[in-house]
Structures are given as C-alpha cells and as structure tokens.
Amino acid sequence: MKTYALIVQYDGTEYAGFQVQVGQRTVQGELEEALSRLGPNRIRVAGAGRTDAGVHSEGQTVSFKDDGLTVPIERLPYALNALLPPDIRVVKGWLAPEGFHARYSAVDKTYRYQIYEGEFPSVFHRRYAHWVREPMNWQAVEECAQLFVGKLDFAAFAASGSSVKTTVRNMLSVTVEAAPPLTLIRFTADGFLYKMVRNLVGVLLDVGQGRLSARDVLKIMESRDRRLASATAPAHGLVLERVGYS
Amino acid sequence: MKTYALIVQYDGTEYAGFQVQVGQRTVQGELEEALSRLGPNRIRVAGAGRTDAGVHSEGQTVSFKDDGLTVPIERLPYALNALLPPDIRVVKGWLAPEGFHARYSAVDKTYRYQIYEGEFPSVFHRRYAHWVREPMNWQAVEECAQLFVGKLDFAAFAASGSSVKTTVRNMLSVTVEAAPPLTLIRFTADGFLYKMVRNLVGVLLDVGQGRLSARDVLKIMESRDRRLASATAPAHGLVLERVGYS
C-alpha cells in the first residue's frame, strides 16, 4: 500500500481542534471527508500534532496509507483544496517511504505563539494573536525563555490530568522575534506535553509584565507542580509552524 | 452642540459595507446602535469614506454632533468597544472644532491594497489580501503606478453608473511595498471616485502579470472609458488606511 504525506495549513478559529470528535467540526474530519471523496476507501489520517480548538497550523503534517486514490500525487493538493473549506489548505503532498508516520517519524516540531501589543485589540490580528494591553519587557522574556532550553522536566507545564510516561522533553530552542505591535515566540523541541507551549507562554507573559522574575520561573520548573505556573495562554495565538523529519 | 470625531477600525468581511442599508449589517449601523445606547439621543454618524462590502478599515474617521452623551470623551472608545462586536474597534476619540465633518473636512485619504502571492492561498491572509497564483513583476507595477500620480482624469477607473461633477482627482502618491509573499500598494489622493482604487489595482495586476504594458495603461487613461480598463480587484484586499485633516 502507498504511504502518503501532506502538509496542511488551517485557520483553527472555526474548528474544535485537529482530532476527530463525534458531532464536532474538526480538521481531521474535513480532511478525511475530502480524501474519501477521491477514491473508493474510507481513509483515516494521522496528524503530527493534535492541535486544540482554536489553534492554527502552517505546517501540520498528516500521513495515511491507501491504494485506491486515482488522483496523481502532484495533483492531490489541488484536488483536496477544491473539496475543502477555504480555512483549510493542503500546500504539499508526497509519497513517503513505507513505515513513515506523521507523528512517530517526527524528530522535532516548532510552535509559534503570536502576541499583539496595543491599547486596543487589532481587528486584523484578533483571530491569530493574543492581545496584551500592557507593554511587554521583551528583553526579560528573551532572557527567561533561555531557561526552557535543554533536556528538562516540564512537569510544571503539563496540563493537569495528562498521563505520559515521562515529562522530560528536549527543547532545542526558544526565540523571541519582537517587532511590535506583533511579537512571535518560537519553541522547537523533540516533543511537547499537552498544552505545554501555552503554559510556557503564560509564564513568559507574567515575566514580560513584571509579575514573575527569572528566579520565580526556575522555582516553578523545579517544583514540577502545575498549580504554581501561570494561567494557560489562549489557544488562538498558537500556530503549529513546522514538523521536522530526518 | 459638541462635535465628536472617532477613528474606527474594522474587519469588513462580515459587513455589507460602511453605510447604513435597510435589512443589512453595516459598520455605520453598529456604531450608531452602540452610540445610541450611551445617551438619550438617536445619533447619526458621517464617515469619511463609504467603504464597500468586504472592505476593511484601519483609519476610517467618523463625526457626529450630540450633547446627550454622558461618557467623557477619553472613555468613549472603551465604552463603545464594550458594546461593539469584536470586528469593529474605536481606537481614538476626540472633540473636534465646530464645523468639523469627517468627509467634507478631509484633505486626503490613503487606501492600501494587499496582495498575497503563492501557489496556494494563505489561510491567514485570505480575509485581508487578494491571492494571485502567478508571480508578479513588481518593478513593472511600480513604474506603471507612477502614471497615476498627479492631477488627472480618472474617468476610465470610475465605476460605471456613478454620477459625479468631475472625474479629476489629485493623486499625491502611489507606493508599492513588496515583501513577498505579501505586497502592499498605497494610494494617497485628495479624493477617490467610486471603486477607483480597485479599478486601478485591476490594471496593475494585469501589468504585473504581463497582460498590459505601460503604453496600454496610458491609452486606457486617455480613453476615459471604463470598458477598456481591467476587471475590478476584489474588495477584501482593500483597507482604508488613513484620512488626513488639515
């Protein structure tokens, strides 16, 4: 059977997240529906990241196996886009080596968090960036963000109730691209715990507005206690930017 | 009576334009509804530009006269924003000199047209930029755009059926800010004919894709015949950026 891979972009505003849920509009559901109209088989796809309701994607990667699709691979993005709603676009498609799996084959992922600073929210950025009214100290944020780089235990930033074997992840980089009024914070790691990026951003927002110091952040990390960390940053500022494969 | 002025930003996607129309959702209608909830009087506002359905604003200016509002002027943007939908924001309010009128007192206006180039449309820019698949020759566009600068007769770019005293307007500048995939074209003039910017952009799109030469554009201008110009560019790429007052 052929193994397919697709890069899928979406504006998550109108979706209950990537993953199929009964009775909800999801990105996976829309993709599977469109794929199933292009051949005889009911196709199930696997996504590299299970983005939550409201989270966007620039580089979500999905894979699936099938041998019934009649559309040649180079036409597949166009054929799917003709069936998909305009807030989901397939921007690349290729035949992957046997055994390729969008999630298990990924070696790293990059998430980007977008923050808009201003006295008033922006009507143009409101769907894609988190609005903060008070000016941010981006130098403090940048310094503090480096505390998250390395092979570290992110237990304090895992959503409560999530069950994983280990809460250790290897954060490869955290960069802050400040171009006010819009600032982008990028996190690249070998993997992320559930809601980890939004929890890290919650802490960085508190640092940027002087409510937490670098010393406080170290204490939170060391505590491994989610209850000590800041509020989770809103979903709509988050974008799955890129999934890396070896 | 006091004369008020407001700067109003909006995402025009969900509106039938600025101007009140019976049975339609309009920006003016939403503003007047919100204002009327802040005092005893039914308030009518005048906008500097009557933006069409789908056109956005970063600097629309409105004025009105009233003496019943109880909210102090410095709180008025906040009070209105609390009542307005999130795709309309009042970002500035001030008491203007007697006789000030958002449209008649304006000395110039700047409209910005946003173009997104790419093999696939962008899910993030789709509401605010016109997508072109074929790469654009921005140098040709920039050169041609200079033909529109000066006190000129723009009859060939006025929407058919519009009745105005004169079709001469003084175009102060046209600039092209190319930062692919997104390019911004700004037009500043003492006034614009109905659909003039979108008709000029239609011609520039044809120039950028090699379908028209500068010589053709000069001929179109000289013809004063709307039927010779290109198709009108779509509304959703257009933003009323700024209104200038002396």
Q: Where are the alpha helices (DSSP H) in chain A?
A: 27-36, 76-83, 138-145, 196-208, 214-223
Q: ipTM exceeding 0.95?
A: no
In the structure encoding, which two tokens stand for residue A231, read together?
């509020």
B165: confidence class by pLDDT, cuts 50, 70, 90: confident
pLDDT at A227 over 90: no
User: What pLDDT is attached to residue B162?
Assistant: 63
Tell me the per-residue pLDDT of B79-88, one tens digit each, with 9 for 90 and over: 999 999 999 9
Measured between CB atoms, which of A91, A122, A124 is closest to B120?
A: A91
DSSP assignment of A188-217, as one string?
EES---TTHHHHHHHHHHHHHTTSS-HHHH
How much is the pTM? 0.93
* Contact (Cβ atoms closer than 8 angstroms) between residue A60 and residue A49: yes
Q: Which CATH number fits domain A108-245: 3.40.50.150, 3.30.70.260, 3.40.50.620, 3.30.70.660?
A: 3.30.70.660
The reply to whether residue A91 touches residue B9, judged by beta carbons under 8 angstroms, is: no
Write down the residue that tokens 């989270």 correspond to: A55
Whether the Cβ atoms of residue A122 and residue A203 lie closer than 8 Å to each other: no
DSSP state of B140: H
Strands B182-189 and A56-66: unpaired
Q: Quick check: A47 and A61 in contact, CB under 8 A?
A: yes
The pLDDT tens digits for A60-107 are 999 999 999 999 999 999 999 999 999 999 999 999 999 999 999 999
Q: Which residue of B has its CA nearest to A124?
A: B11
- Looking at residue A159, what is its pLDDT? 82
Q: Is the pLDDT of residue B154 over 70?
A: yes
Tens digits of residue pLDDT in B25-52: 999 999 999 999 999 999 999 999 999 9
B88 and A CB contact within 8 Å: yes
Neighbouring C-beta atoms of residue B165, cutoff 10 Å: 5
- Determine how many CB atoms are found less than 10 A away from the CB of residue B222: 12
* pLDDT at residue B159 in the model: 82
Q: Does A234 touch chain B (CB under 8 A)?
A: no
Closest residue to A120, CB basis, from B91, B123, B126: B91
pLDDT tier for residue A161 given thresholds of 50, 70 and 90: low
Confidence of residue B228 (pLDDT cuts 50, 70, 90): confident
The CATH architecture of the domain made up of A2-96 is 2-Layer Sandwich (3.30)
B26, B112 in Cβ contact below 8 A?
no
* Interface check B124 vs A, CB under 8 A: yes
What is the structure's pLDDT at B161?
Answer: 64
Please write the tens of the pLDDT for every residue from A28-58: 999 999 999 999 999 999 999 999 999 999 9
In this structure, of A60-69, A185-194, B163-172, the range with the lowest mean pLDDT score is: B163-172
Virtual torsion, Cα A185, A191, A194, A198, nearest 10 deg: -10
| Per-residue pLDDT at B27 | 98
* CATH of the structural domain B107-245, one choice from 3.10.450.50, 3.30.70.660, 3.40.50.450, 3.30.479.10: 3.30.70.660
Sign of the Cα torsion A52, A183, A170, A94 reads: positive
Where do the structural domains in chain B lie, given as residue ranges? 2-96, 107-245
- Mean pLDDT, all residues of chain A: 96
Chain A residues close to B11, C-beta within 8 Å: 123-124, 126
The per-residue pLDDT for range B70-121, each reduced to its tens digit, is 999 999 999 999 999 999 999 999 999 999 999 999 999 999 999 999 999 9
Q: How many CB atoms lie within 10 A of CB B163?
A: 6
Q: Is B190 a catalytic residue?
A: no
